[in-house]
Amino acid sequence: MTKKCPECKTKMFAGKTSIHFQRNNFYADVENVEAFICPNCGTRSIPGNVAKEVSKTVENLFNTTTKKPVFSGLCFHKVLT
């Protein structure tokens, strides 16, 4: 599938990106997210199904922070092979 950049109309390529989320005093970084990336201006476009899954996962993570946490950070990584 090909896609044109909504900003500059350059042909985008399939790649991976990171997304940063922040809510109140908490943040989450999601890495290796499938995306279309513009080589000209750097715009990133995340397919709808991927965006929904990432959003749902991060929302669940933020919802677990309603109580005062006993730690200051959490990193969760899957090794890509």
Domains belonging to the chain, first-starting first, are 3-63 (3.10.20.860)
- pTM of model > 0.85: no
Joined tokens for residue 2: 């090909």
Token pair belonging to 65: 């922070």
Q: pLDDT tens digit string along 33-79?
A: 999 999 999 999 999 999 999 999 888 888 876 666 666 666 666 76
Span 6-23, average pLDDT = 94
Q: Which residue has the higher pLDDT, 12 or 70?
A: 12
The pLDDT tens digits for 28-37 are 888 899 999 9
Query: Do residues 36 and 69 make contact, with C-beta atoms less than 8 angstroms apart?
Result: no
Predicted pLDDT at 25: 76
